[in-house]
């Protein structure tokens, strides 16, 4: 997959998640959060009014610390495809 094809597939996966109206399991959301932040090179620290949620987000980022942006995009796409294939 070329870099351009990966970007297109990643944007499509993000769009499918954003347009989905049913609630997601927390573990899926945290995994997607970590992959998304790494894929987009978003360096902002997690913030939430709930310290526990911030801790979970920080952990999700920690688990993706060794991924490249392209690896994170690929894993994000795989996670989205897996979710919609088996959870729907």
pLDDT at residue number 51: 86
pLDDT at 70 over 60: yes
Quick one: 23 exposed, middle or buried, by C-beta within 10 A (0-12, 13-18, 19+)? exposed
Give how far the C-alpha of residue 47 lies from the chain's centroid of Cα atoms, to the nearest Å. Answer: 16
Rounded CA separation 1/5 (Å): 6
State the pLDDT at residue 50. Answer: 82
pLDDT digits (tens, 9 = 90+) for 11-55: 999 999 999 999 989 999 999 999 999 999 987 777 777 888 889
User: What are the residue ranges spanned by the domains of the chain?
Assistant: 24-86
């Amino acid at each position: 997959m070329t870099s351009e094809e990966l970007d297109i597939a990643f944007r499509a996966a993000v769009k499918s998640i954003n347009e989905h109206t049913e609630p997601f399991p927390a573990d899926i959301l945290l995994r997607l959060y970590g992959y998304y932040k790494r894929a987009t090179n978003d360096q902002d620290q997690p913030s939430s009014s709930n310290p526990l949620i911030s801790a979970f987000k920080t952990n999700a980022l920690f688990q993706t610390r060794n991924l490249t942006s392209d690896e994170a995009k690929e894993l994000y796409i795989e996670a989205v495809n897996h979710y919609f294939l088996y959870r729907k």
